[in-house]
Amino acid sequence: MSAAVTVRVPATSANLGPAFDCAGLALTLHDVVDFAVLPSGLDVSISGIGVGELPTDESHLVVRAFRAACAQLGWTPPGLRVVADNGIPQGRGMGSSAAAVVAGVVGAWALCPDVDDIDDDAVLRLTSELEGHPDNVAACLLGGATLSWTEASGARAVRLDVAPAIRPVLLVPDGILSTHVARGLLPDAVPHDVAAFNAARSALLVHALTADPARLFEATDDRLHQRQRAAAMPETIALIDALRARGHAAVVSGAGPSVLVLTDGTGDAGLPVDAITSPGWTALDLDVDTTGAEVLVGAPEVSSR
């Protein structure tokens, strides 16, 4: 087993409209983190997004996730170097915290001398506990689109192959939004008709993502959580309304404030980005990341991929 590994983790968009806290999509935008065992101490350095803002001590989220995985594995390296090159925007609903958690846990599994491969099921359970819900970490770990849920034994997930015609576009605002603030605006209870509406759209979403992209507009309709959080991101909801009025399958990306547009490569939905974005928004024309978390250097085989 190598004493140094490099882990690449993708950005993710969760919820995808109606499937609150249970659906996610991996995107071709990445953080790349190098891990190395040192004789002693902790050395953390950061490049890319977050330089000068993120901590470089034990409080760094990657380090915290790495330590949690080491505790689970019963292994403690004498010292650790973490070099993070961040490409995922933070505080914008693109899974930056999930990526950090997955990178740290996968890095620990890859470095641990007592394991022969990486157990995706165990990694998913731990990362979900650390993140608080499995939707982003499942997509980050497995790639593609994922459906996730929680049982008594912990988080579970299945991976879906996304129809090749689907192309995700992220519209990213200059401002940020705390996930904690966004989730705090949700009501404790929802009406039965709202639950039934979203259950139907969530089921249709699976069909649209995998087999029938022409159904994406209907499948991404939501009554459960997006409008309820409008007070925290009015510009986001206004942009989604404008996009959906033109027939685009636009949704809040995760907790926001970014907007995800799922295009199907046909007609007017084929991405007139310049015409639909406003000042203060950046359009990222991405693709679906089909790999998920990947150990690039010193890699043990991933067990269940």
Q: Please give the domain boundaries of the chain with CATH numbers for all domains.
A: 4-160+289-297 (3.30.230.10), 167-285 (3.30.70.890)
Cα 225 to Cα 133: distance, rounded to the nearest angstrom: 16
Higher pLDDT, 278 or 148: 148
Please calculate the CA angle 202-216-12 and round it to the nearest 5 degrees. 70
pLDDT digits (tens, 9 = 90+) for 42-99: 999 999 999 999 999 999 999 999 999 999 999 999 999 999 999 999 999 999 999 9
Rg for the chain (alpha carbons), in Å? 19
| 271 has a pLDDT exceeding 70 | no
Query: Is residue 56 within 8 Å of 17, Cβ to Cβ?
Result: no
Residue 3's CB: how many other CB atoms inside 10 A? 12
Q: Between the CA of residue 171 and those of 54, 233, 278, what are the distances in Å?
A: 24, 14, 10
Cα 262 to Cα 277: distance, rounded to the nearest angstrom: 15
**Model confidence, pTM:** 0.92
Q: Kindly state the percentage of the chain with pLDDT values over 90.
A: 78
Structural tokens at position 207: 């069909």
Query: Is residue 32 within 8 Å of 85, Cβ to Cβ?
Result: yes
pLDDT confidence band for 297 (50 / 70 / 90):
confident
pLDDT digits (tens, 9 = 90+) for 237-248: 999 998 999 899
pLDDT digits (tens, 9 = 90+) for 86-144: 999 999 999 999 999 999 999 999 999 998 889 999 999 999 999 999 999 999 999 99
Q: What is the mean pLDDT of the chain?
A: 91
Q: Beta strands of 122-278 (E only): which ranges?
A: 145-151, 154-160, 167-173, 250-252, 259-263
Instruction: Return the DSSP state at 163.
Output: P
Helix (H, G, I), strand (E, B) or coil at 119: coil
Give phi and psi for 140, each to the nearest 5: -65, -40
Higher pLDDT, 181 or 262: 262
pLDDT confidence band for 279 (50 / 70 / 90):
confident
pLDDT confidence band for 298 (50 / 70 / 90):
low
pLDDT score recorded for residue 16: 98
Q: Residue 83 burial by CB count (10 A; 0-12/13-18/19+): exposed, middle or buried?
A: middle
Q: Between the CA of residue 280 and those of 90, 149, 170, what are the distances in Å?
A: 16, 35, 13
